[in-house]
Amino acid sequence: MLRIFEEMSVAETATTMGCRQGTVKAQLHKAMQNLRSHKCGGMEHE
């Protein structure tokens, strides 16, 4: 979430975390999916 909250680039986030840029992208994608499912999971769809 450094990418979102700290407004870091993928490259900056990868350097900070000590991982590859692809890992940052994959983890961000999974985190966003989790947030969406929690947000929509408790709401009724009209």
Determine the pLDDT at residue 27. 93
Question: Model pTM greater than 0.75?
Answer: no
Determine the pLDDT at residue 18. 96
Instruction: Please state, in angstroms and rounded to a whole number, the distance separating the CA atoms of residues 25 and 30.
Output: 9
Could you read off the pLDDT tens digit of each residue along the chain, which spans 46 residues? 677 777 899 999 999 999 999 999 999 999 889 988 887 765 544 4
Sign of the four-CA dihedral 30, 35, 36, 40: positive
Determine the pLDDT at residue 42. 55
Determine the pLDDT at residue 46. 43
Residue 45 three-state SS: coil
